[in-house]
Amino acid sequence: MGSYNLVIENPGTEPLVVSCTVNSFPRDESYPVKMSTHAVDRDTGEVTIFAEVSQGLYPVLDATLYAQLIHPELNETSVDTIKYYLHDDGLDDDLNPEDGVYTTTISPPQDGVSYVIKVVGIGTAFIIYNI
C-alpha cells in the first residue's frame, strides 16, 4: 500500500526505454497493534487529542478513530455522548499526513465537571483528563 512517484530524466535526445517493478510485502502480523494517546490543553479552552497507532515500527494508516467526551455521571453509550473523529491528513492540528498520528481538537463544556476522554479505534486507550 502506498503512493509512489517515479521521475526519470533523459539527458540525451534518443528515446529511453524504462522498466519498473514494485514489490509490496505484508507486515509481520505477529506484532501487536498499539495505540498511545495524549491530550494538550490549549489556552483557548480547547483540548487537542493525539493518538499514535503503530504495529511494530510501522504506522497504522487509514484507521478509524474517534474520541468520546463522557460525563462522569453517564457512560459511553449515552445519547448525549458526542464522537469527535481523529484524522491523519496533515490538516488543522495534524502536523504530518499518513504518519500514524491521528488528531482532533474539541471544545469541552465549561461547566466545572471532570470529563473522561475515551479514544476508540483499533483497541481502546483512555485519557483521564480534567477539563
What domains can you pick out in the chain, each with its CATH number? 33-128 (2.60.40.2440)
What is the per-residue pLDDT across 13-45, written as a single tens digit (0 to 9) for each? 887 777 666 665 556 667 788 888 988 888 888
Query: Cα-flanking dihedrals φ and ψ of residue 17, to 5°?
Result: -100, 130
Spatial separation of the C-alpha atoms in residues 57 and 37, rounded to whole Å: 17
Residue type, 115: Y
Q: Which DSSP helix (H) or strand (E) runs through 104?
A: strand 101-106
Q: How large is the average pLDDT for residues 54-74?
A: 84
pLDDT of amino acid 76: 60
Q: For residue 4, is pLDDT > 70? A: no
pTM of the predicted structure, to 2 decimals: 0.69
Residue of 131 and 55 predicted with greater confidence? 55
